[in-house]
Structure 1
Amino acid sequence: MGQKVNPIGFRLGVVRGWDSNWYGGKDFPSKLVEDQEIRKYIDARIPKGGISKVIIERTIKRITITVHTARPGVVIGKGGQEVDRIKEELKKLTGKDVQINIFEIKRPELDAKLVGESIAQQLKARISYRRAMKQAIASAVRVGAQGIKIKCSGRLGGAEMARTEMYKDGRIPLHTLRADIDYAISEADTVYGKIGIKVWIFKGEVFGKRDLSPNVGASNQMGGDRDRRGGGARRPNRNKKK
Structure 2
Amino acid sequence: MLFDAQAAADEARLRATELAGRVAQLRVPDASFTRAPDVDESAEYLPTAEIAARAEFHPHESPWLMWLPLVVLAALSVVGGLINLPFTDSLKRLEIWLEPSLFEHEAHLGVGGGGLWALAIVAVAVGLVGIGGAYLVYIKTRVDPARVELPVFAHGWYFDEDVSAFMGGPGEAGFEASARFDRNVIDGAVNGVGTIIRTGASYLRRLQSGFVRSYALFVGVGAALLLALFLTRASL
* TM-score, normalized by the shorter chain, greater than 0.5: no
TM-score bucket of the superposed structures, by smaller chain: under 0.3
Choose between structure 1 and 2 for higher RCO, CA contacts under 8 A separated by at least 6 residues.
1
Name the one with the larger strand percent: 1
Q: State the structure with more CA Rg.
A: 2
Name the one with the larger helix percent: 2
TM-score (structure 2 length as normaliser): 0.20
